[in-house]
Amino acid sequence: MQKRNRYANRKKNDGVEQLKSYMSVCANCEWGLWTNSIEKFVFRKCTDKNGAVRFIEYNDIPPADGSLDDVDRPSRTSLMNASDDNLLFVFRTCHNHIYINDGLQKQPAFFELLKVIFCKIEDERNIPKPLEFYAASNERSNLDGQLTVKKRITKIFDRVKKRHGKIFDANEEIKLTPRSLAYIVAELQKYSLLNTNIDVKGKAYEEIVGANLRGDRGEFFTPRNIMKMVVEMVDPQIDEKVLDSSCGTGGFIVMAMTHAIQKLEKQFSESIGL
């Protein structure tokens, strides 16, 4: 495993240096991104007063208007809904980062990621206060900044533990290193997990859990298209109760709830003549 990690790091470093060399010879290139489908690195090329080229690492490439504010600290209005592909990519990227850099096995790595996801959702719920779930680009690059991020996220996690006392013990802590925590926060901060379609989050969650917690024991989640087919065949009505006696991530229950909501929306539209 250590040999494989060293090889992966060498390939990553070679790729990043190659990107910088391309950016250096391209006079009008200001931003560059390198990825190996597991990690991504974004750099901005700057020239100091002596003409020396420097590369500054950023969380992401800014939007077309060139504003860097939302790259470092997103506002509620700038949060994006995630598609199933990019949310799954981010979850996998974060999980792999923990697994490789913090030395945690797959299951503990997943549960540390889960704590951070809970913090992200809790922060989005904290309306109307400004978002505190963020890691600015300059914070990621030094230990003091990373510790500032950890302190900020720890305060959010304290609220999470009060809200979800049956899930997290009062003395539970986020065990990630400050460097890894800052990296993961930066990866997640631009998305809205509350507004993203619940099936998207469920799909991403099950992909990660299924790959890292269940597969070794020969247990697998029911595919979501099968869940959808079963729910449509049973056709639960609005005033009926649904029991999933083998509830894992609650996929059947969520699918049944979505089915009922669609019925309510249809009834409401018909009642007002739409």
Q: What's residue 153's pLDDT?
A: 98
Q: What's residue 85's pLDDT?
A: 79
Residue 5 has pLDDT above 60, yes or no: no
Q: CA of 84: how far to CAs of 40, 95, 161, 184, 253, in Å? A: 18, 16, 28, 18, 20
* Burial (Cβ within 10 Å: 0-12, 13-18, ≥19) of residue 55: middle
Name which of 213, 147, 155, 133 is nearest 180 in CA terms: 147
Q: Position of tokens 């060399």? A: 21
Contact 229, 118 (CB under 8 A): no
* Span 146-194, pLDDT tens digits: 999 999 999 999 999 999 998 899 999 999 999 999 999 999 999 998 8
pLDDT bin (cut points 50, 70, 90) of residue 264 is: confident
pLDDT bin (cut points 50, 70, 90) of residue 216 is: low
Contact 134, 189 (CB under 8 A): yes
In this prediction, residues 79-89 reach a mean pLDDT of 83
3-class DSSP state for residue 73? coil
Contact 135, 149 (CB under 8 A): yes
- Name the β-bridge partners of 43: 32, 57
Q: Position of tokens 């009008």? A: 28
* Span 92-137, pLDDT tens digits: 888 888 888 888 887 788 889 889 999 999 999 998 899 999 999 8
* Burial (Cβ within 10 Å: 0-12, 13-18, ≥19) of residue 159: middle
Residue 242 has pLDDT above 70, yes or no: yes
C-alpha 268/C-alpha 244 separation (Å) is: 28
For the chain, the C-alpha Rg in angstroms (whole number) is: 22
C-alpha 48/C-alpha 157 separation (Å) is: 40
More confident residue, 214 or 90: 90
